[in-house]
Structure 1
Amino acid sequence: MIPITHSIAIDPSEIEETFVRGTGAGGQNVNKVSSAVQLRFDLMHSPNIPEGMKRRVAALAGRRLTKDGVLVLVANSHRDQPMNRAEALARLVALLREGAVAPKFRVATRPTLASKRRRLEGKAIRSTTKQMRSVKPDTD
């Protein structure tokens, strides 16, 4: 099991990896070695992920989520396959951890009367300072 949080973990069998030819650096090797990793995780049908977390991760994933609810991550920044595999898995875990945190519920509050008065007093002081700057001194 791959731990996401202390209570949520995903089974490695839910992750499907395919290896494709990567782009970028690699010299002659780039044309003959499949070092890039395409990681697929069926987010919407995973039994280990709660429904609320699925919605949050889907919103965070954006275009990386297919219409079928499969999360697709591509890692091809390294020249060797094991490093790309590790990077893709780390990005999946980071995305799932970010989606595991529920947003805090904001309670609307009103400013107190004292804070309103302090704000207005500060504005009055600033206003008089600026007015004093615009007054031309006598030339006598």
Structure 2
Amino acid sequence: MDLEVSPALIIPATELHWRFSRSSGPGGQHVNTSDSRAELSWNIRDSAVLSEEERQMLLSRLGRRLVAGVLTVAASEQRSQLRNRELALAKLAEIVTASLAPGPARRRPTKPTKGSGRRHLAAKQQRSAIKRQRQRPSAE
């Protein structure tokens, strides 16, 4: 089952690797006997569906999450292995989508207007005058 991350990026099932293990959490004795935890891995370095630009973006943005270029997500929230598989696919798609999204627009530096500069100086002068009036008169 291929994973559609976006209309432009579909990860083939052959590039996805599954591992299943026993899960902790709810389920009682059922948990002790079934491998319901799903772990999904995708090798970003060796992926054929990524352009070189996308690959570099993913490797740099996901650097801390990757182990030897492999992104791994796990799902063990549900009692059903099938449901955990669906959750793992959704988590992987969400991580990849967020990592490929363009960053926020850069801030354009701006200067204060002349009017705001004048108001700022006037306020400082007024505050200075108030403080001067509070002082004890000098004996000159």
Category of TM-score, reference length = shorter chain: 0.7 to 0.9
8 Å CA contact 2:10, 2:49 repeated in 1: yes
User: Which residue of 2 is the match for residue 74 of structure 1?
Assistant: 74
Unaligned runs of 5+ in 2: 135-140
Q: Deviations over 1:25-62 (max 9, x none)?
A: 22111111100001011111101112232233234434
User: Which residue of 2 is the match for residue 47 of structure 1?
Assistant: 48
SS in 2 for 1:25: coil
Asked if residue 118 in structure 1 is aligned to residue 116 in structure 2, the reply is: yes
Which amino acid in the other structure matches residue 25 of structure 2?
G
Percent of aligned positions with the same letter in both sequences? Answer: 25
Unaligned runs of 5+ in 1: none
Q: How far apart are 1:126 and its partner, in Å?
A: 7.1
8 Å CA contact 1:20, 1:35 repeated in 2: yes
User: Which residue of 2 is the match for residue 91 of structure 1?
Assistant: 91
Q: How does 1:21-40 map to 2 (within 5 A)?
A: 21-40=22-41
Closer/same/farther in 2, CA of residues 44 and 124 from structure 1, 3 Å limit:
farther
SS in 1 for 2:38: strand
Superposition misfits of 4+ residues, deviation over 4 angstroms? 129-133
Q: How far apart are 1:120 and its partner, in Å?
A: 5.4
8 Å CA contact 2:18, 2:40 repeated in 1: yes
TM-score (norm 1): 0.75
Closer/same/farther in 2, CA of residues 22 and 50 from structure 1, 3 Å limit:
same
Q: How many residues align?
A: 133
TM-score (norm 2): 0.75
Closer/same/farther in 2, CA of residues 92 and 125 from structure 1, 3 Å limit:
same
Q: CA RMSD in A?
A: 2.9
Larger radius of gyration: 2
Structure-1 separation of matches of 2:48 and 2:63: 21
